[in-house]
Amino acid sequence: MGFVIATVNMKGGVGKTTLTVNLATCLAKNHGKRVLVVDLDTQISATLSLMSPQDFAKVRKGRRTLSHLIDKSIRPNLQSKLTIQDVIQPYICSIKELDLLPGDIDLYDEYLVSEMLHQKANSEGKENFSDVWNHFEKLLIKGILEPVINNYDFIILDCAPGYNLLTRSGIVASDFYLLPARPEPLSVVGIQLLERRISRLKESHNSSTPLNLQLLGIVFILSGGLIGRYYNQVMKRVTEDFTPAQLFKNRIPMDVNVAKAVDSFMPVVLSTPTSSGAKAFTRLTVEFLQKVDAYQNMSQNRSTKVNLANLD
Ligand SMILES: Nc1ncnc2c1ncn2[C@@H]1O[C@H](COP(=O)(O)OP(=O)(O)O)[C@@H](O)[C@H]1O
Ligand SMILES: [Mg+2]
């Protein structure tokens, strides 16, 4: 079964989307992994980093975006034959193993969601609205991905900044989360806030089946020059707060080619593969796979121990 990975940080502009699209591309192109990128952000940056605005306009006209799948979850009576398989765009950037579930500038109507959940709570005679809400949140993204989860090695969710319904639903559907961060003092606060929110999210969703969500690692997006030297001190502080396993050793340098790649509707690892940014993403992908392997081995060892314990 595929791993679901959320790229999150409550801050915008820290490099979530850039990390998502470059990691996904390297996993597919260099390692032959089957990868699906899911754009959960109404800014549709992941979508527009992987397809041209013209292609996106066509896709949107045919209602083949995430918005339609969310609509179907909110309004079960909606007459529509479009499935997630119809919405997913294959052969992204001409890579056979890379697929995209395009995002949309309108993803859901909060009022509609609240109304639907209130009606549900009333009709089921449930007094506790937050239980109904938590249940919906837990199953929204998980339910949308369910039919295709076995088709992929990795499904990477590009989350919006902030902490909205889709980000929370994406996080609870994930096995791991990646935390790209710039080593600025406020970004350190952001990391701590997110960690606190995620542990609270785990508590509120733990009543039925426990969440196995793990931080795969913090990825630093560096800055050059004088400010870079100051950032090194901040980075030292962050590294003291986390175990080495929670940090990626590979860091992403600032590189104009990374920003320019968006103009060619493809990630820098394809547009300028020899640039310093592209090389850093390529190395980071190898480390990513090592980290996932390490977790897999750890959980296998744990289950062997449990099985052996059962034999006693
Ligand atoms: N390593 C980098 N070097 C240069 N520019 C970068 C780098 N990483 C991200 N950027 C640029 O910074 C901006 C914000 O990055 P983005 O990935 O969209 O952040 P987020 O998804 O967190 O909002 C974009 O214009 C992107 O091209
Ligand atoms: Mg983004």
Across 44-143, where does the E strand assignment appear? 98-101
Q: What are phi and psi of 90, to 5 degrees?
A: -90, 175
Cα distance between residue 269 and residue 34, in whole Å: 17
Q: Which residue has the higher pLDDT, 187 or 49?
A: 49
Strand positions, DSSP E, 117-262: 154-158, 176-181, 214-220
Which residues have a Cβ under 8 Å from the Cβ of 60 and sit 6 or more positions away?
102, 104
**What is the SS3 assignment for 158?**
strand
Q: How many CB atoms lie within 10 A of CB 39?
A: 29
What pLDDT does residue 62 have?
Answer: 94
Q: In which band, very low, low, confident or very high, does the pLDDT at 190 lie, cut at 50, 70 and 90?
A: confident
Atom of ligand 1 nearest to the CA of 20: 17
Q: Which domains does the chain have, with CATH numbers?
A: 3-311 (3.40.50.300)
pLDDT digit string (tens) for 46-93?
999 999 999 999 999 999 999 999 999 888 788 888 999 999 999 999
Contact 198, 239 (CB under 8 A): no
Ligand 1, CB cutoff 6 Å, lining residues: 12-18, 45, 221, 252, 254-255, 258-259, 262, 277
User: How many Å lie between the centroid of ligand 2 and the Cα of residue 170?
Assistant: 14
Q: Kindly give the pairing relationship between strand 154-158 and strand 35-39.
A: parallel
Structure tokens at 273: 């593969």
Q: For ligand 1, atom 20, which residue shows the shortest CA distance?
A: 13
pTM of the model: 0.94
Distance in Å, CA 298 to ligand 1 centroid: 33
310: pLDDT strictly greater than 70: no
Q: How does the average pLDDT of the chain come out, rounded?
A: 91
CA of 308 to the centre of ligand 2 (A): 45
Q: Please tell me the predicted confidence (pLDDT) of residue 298.
A: 85
Which tens digit of pLDDT belongs to each residue from 95-112? 999 999 999 999 988 888
pLDDT of residue 126: 67
Residue 46 alpha carbon to ligand 1 centre in Å: 11
Q: Which atom, in ligand 1's list, is nearest to the CA of 222?
A: 1
Residue 208: per-residue pLDDT = 64
- Largest Cα–Cα distance in the chain? 63
151 vs 240: which has the higher pLDDT: 151
Q: What's the confidence (pLDDT) of residue 251?
A: 95
Q: What is the DSSP letter of 63?
A: T
pLDDT value, residue 312: 52
Helix (H, G, I), strand (E, B) or coil at 37: strand
- The closest ligand to the CA of 8 turns out to be 1
